[in-house]
Chains A and B, each alone.
Chain A
Amino acid sequence: MYTEKVMDHFTNPRNVGELADANAIGEVGNMKCGDIMKLYLKISDDGVIEDVKFKTFGCGAAIATSSMSTELIKGKTVEECLKLTNNAIAEALDGLPPVKMHCSVLAEDALKSALLDYQKKTGKDLSISEADLNNDHDHDHDEADEE
């Protein structure tokens, strides 16, 4: 069901933990869906992701997408991070099962939520807002069940 890359990132997740000197923190997801992702970023004055850590409660795909997204953003600029899509995260893992694509959306949102926090804290204008979060995790369960 999962690709080797997903299993690799699930078994040996990169950058797990907390960052004491994080200057941007994002947390998304909820217990109803069973996925919660928390992302810690340390962003330099010139807008480069110097360090990143994550903690995730969730399934194999949730842990693997969190891990992969930290690898993809480390050393990148804030502007580059804003362009990271859920599809790019899924592709970097050689794909996800269709029912698990929402995990990649969650990873993208965790990043955006952290950058939003950064924007708030520093006053720098990254031109993002709450509306940029996909909020896919609040999908209507009953409706999805009927499919």
Chain B
Amino acid sequence: MLGRGSLSMKKIYLDHGATTPVSSEVLDAMIDIYKQEAGNPSSVHQFGRSAKKHLEAARVKVANAIGADPKEIIFTGSGTEADNMAVIGTARLKAKQGKGKHIITSSIEHHAVLDTCKALAKEGFEITYLPVDEFGVVSAADVREALRPDTILVTIMHANNEVGTIQPIAEIGQILKEHQAVFHTDAVQTVGKVPVDVNELQVDMLTVSAHKIYGPKGVGALYMRKGIRIEPLMYGGGQERKIRPSTENLAGIVGFAVAIEKAVEELAVEKQRLETLRDKLIDDILQTIPETKLNGHPTERLPHNANVSFEYIEGESLILSLDMKGIAVSSGSACTSGSLDPSHVLMAMGLSHQTAHGSLRMTLGKATTEEDIDYVVSVLKDVAARLREMSPVWEQRNK
């Protein structure tokens, strides 16, 4: 049957690691706030009090989602901002207190942490960038070895955004229990995808973002364990315990709370569903397209992340070709990273330039179906063959 629908282009979004669409429950909750809550949560009058009530209810929901106390949640304008606050805020306070200037991080962090550490290095802080193994795993033993009496902060992401590898955060947390260093983890990719409990992970600070879990852009949170202090990065008001002044983005925060509550509620079922689809996607590609390889850990990985390298093909041309077939994905190639080098994550894992340039990240979401996976694999097969036909490196390999 050739209906009208079959002529329109398919639209398959496999870039949920970049951002997710706002869910209808989230949007409804946000619209209600915009329509009904005109007040500033800091105001004393009834408008302010009502807004404050919504703000605090949202704080409870976000805290519950990660096993924290509501008092330990600081709302921010993004995950990047929360990372900056955690890293810079801790560094400045500890340096001022004379506790030291040494920071430990990994070589595969998101730029929100990595570039922040680089900026601190210019201010005189000493940064240790821990290596990773071929699967992108940071070793807890390496953290132990890198620790010094003057180490003030350890910041290691919970799961990597590009290759999806989940890090041994609880193990590192255990090691740091007896050390002065504050332990921060960027959990932007994991919250709502895999169980996250701040006490099980033994972290002091943890970053969350709303837009990766069907919430709005422009909202995040920093979990700060009771007793943990940082220097604020901004001044100008008493909001968020003076740590993050600004009139609260109430609709955004409420949308964030609805999103995180829903994600945690659906986690067990959705995690399994996504893992099944992810494994099918990975297996089908590796089995039907020659010279492909999985990047990241085979099992310790995000349920929705598949990262595969296509040898002899450059990633951006893969993205463009897939885009023309209605499929949205991303890559770690130089041409898409905005710089001249391929992804720092893939390079840290020891991939060759060619393998890194040919990487493709496909991140699944709520709307992804088995039919989508079949379509993506069949398109990939054609596209890979076409691009390889054009590739002088492929030609050389076949000679």
Q: A residues touching B (Cβ–Cβ < 8 Å)?
A: 2, 7, 10-11, 13, 16, 18, 27, 31-38, 55-63, 99-100, 139, 141, 144-145
Q: Does B238 contact A (CB under 8 A)?
A: no
Q: Does B340 contact A (CB under 8 A)?
A: yes
A112 to chain B, nearest CB (A): 17
Contact A56 B390 (CB under 8 A): yes
Contact A31 B354 (CB under 8 A): yes
Residue of B nearest to A145 (CB): B339
Q: Does B377 contact A (CB under 8 A)?
A: no
Contact B335 A57 (CB under 8 A): no
Q: Does B395 contact A (CB under 8 A)?
A: yes
What number of residue pairs across chains A and B have CB atoms under 8 A from each other?
A: 75
B386 to chain A, nearest CB (A): 10
Q: Does B31 contact A (CB under 8 A)?
A: no
Contact A141 B341 (CB under 8 A): yes
Contacts A34-B353, A144-B340; is A57 near B393 (CB within 8 Å)? yes
Residues of A within 8 A of B339 (CB): 144-145
Residues of B within 8 A of A11 (CB): 324
- Docked complex Cα distance between A27 and B392 (Å): 9
- Docked complex Cα distance between A32 and B338 (Å): 15
A10 CB contact (under 8 Å) in B313, B320, B352:
B320
Q: Does B342 contact A (CB under 8 A)?
A: yes
B227 to chain A, nearest CB (A): 39
Residue of A nearest to B355 (CB): A31
Residue of A nearest to B341 (CB): A141
A31 to chain B, nearest CB (A): 5
Residue of B nearest to A60 (CB): B320
Contact B393 A36 (CB under 8 A): yes
Residues of B within 8 A of A58 (CB): 314, 317, 335
- Docked complex Cα distance between A92 and B338 (Å): 24
- Docked complex Cα distance between A40 and B357 (Å): 25
Contacts A33-B334, A57-B312; is A63 near B392 (CB within 8 Å)? no
- Docked complex Cα distance between A34 and B313 (Å): 9
Residues of A within 8 A of B336 (CB): 59
The interface on chain B, measured as residues whose beta carbon lies within 8 A of the other chain's beta carbons, has a size of 28
Residues of B within 8 A of A141 (CB): 340-341
Contact A18 B342 (CB under 8 A): no
Contact A55 B390 (CB under 8 A): yes
Please report which residues of chain B, range 314-364, place their CB below 8 angstroms from some CB of chain A when the two chains form the complex.
Answer: 314-317, 320, 324, 333-336, 338-342, 352-354, 357
Residues of A within 8 A of B324 (CB): 11
Residues of B within 8 A of A37 (CB): 392
Q: Does B369 contact A (CB under 8 A)?
A: no
- Docked complex Cα distance between A113 and B313 (Å): 23
B268 to chain A, nearest CB (A): 40
- Docked complex Cα distance between A90 and B354 (Å): 26
- Docked complex Cα distance between A63 and B387 (Å): 10
Contact A60 B391 (CB under 8 A): no
Residues of B within 8 A of A27 (CB): 392
Contacts A55-B390, A56-B391, A145-B340; is A32 near B317 (CB within 8 Å)? no
Residues of B within 8 A of A16 (CB): 389-390
Contacts A31-B353, A34-B357, A141-B340; is A57 near B314 (CB within 8 Å)? yes
Residue of A nearest to B389 (CB): A16
Residue of A nearest to B342 (CB): A34
Residue interface mask B283-325, A partner, CB < 8 A = 1: 0000000000000000000000000000011111100100010
A69 to chain B, nearest CB (A): 14
Residue of A nearest to B312 (CB): A57
Please report which residues of chain B, range 131-170, place their CB below 8 angstroms from some CB of chain A when the two chains form the complex.
Answer: none
Residues of A within 8 A of B352 (CB): 31
5 residue pairs, one from A and one from B, having the closest CB atoms: A59-B335, A59-B316, A38-B392, A55-B392, A34-B357
